[in-house]
Amino acid sequence: MPDKPAPYPDLDALMAAALAQAQRAADAGEVPVGAVLAGPDGSILAAAHNTVEAERNPLRHAEMRVLEMVLADHDDKFLSGCTLAVTLEPCPMCMGALGHARVGRVVFGAYDPKSGGAVSGPRVASHLHAPVEVLGGIREEACAAVLRDFFRGLRA
């Protein structure tokens, strides 16, 4: 794969696919976070949502799952030409994994000032060996609304 991601893929379409995954998570009683990983040409290679509750495993974040899916069928351990789109700013664990996989670009919807690891909190993205381009706020309101509605439902 190329060292850098291709010019920006259709970020709105990628985030729409990630939002569909987030809704699947919400419908399953999971924290509604969805992610898709796009190849250098912008085509979606994998899509997933959180399965922490179903699998009773705190590592089953959407980002980790798409990495596992793509790397299982990939000839290289690095994904430098790829773009990850996720509905919520990745946590430090996921940001570290994305850096180790050398994903070229991470785009996210809703910021997570409390637990984010890309531009909020510990800002893991700025400490990675291989630089990861990070862009936040893509369809931010729609991504935040899915989370807000899910947690309102839990409190009701």
Task: Please state, in angstroms and rounded to a whole number, the distance separating the CA atoms of residues 30 and 15.
Answer: 19
Task: Please state, in angstroms and rounded to a whole number, the distance separating the CA atoms of residues 26 and 150.
Answer: 6
Task: Please state, in angstroms and rounded to a whole number, the distance separating the CA atoms of residues 48 and 64.
Answer: 9
Catalytic residue among 30, 55, 63, 68: 63
Both tokens of residue 47?
Answer: 């899509």
Task: Please state, in angstroms and rounded to a whole number, the distance separating the CA atoms of residues 18 and 86.
Answer: 6
| Among 121, 87, 3, CA closest to 66 | 87
Question: Is there a catalytic annotation at residue 30?
Answer: no
| Among 10, 29, 27, 17, CA closest to 86 | 17
Please identify every residue annotated as catalytic.
63
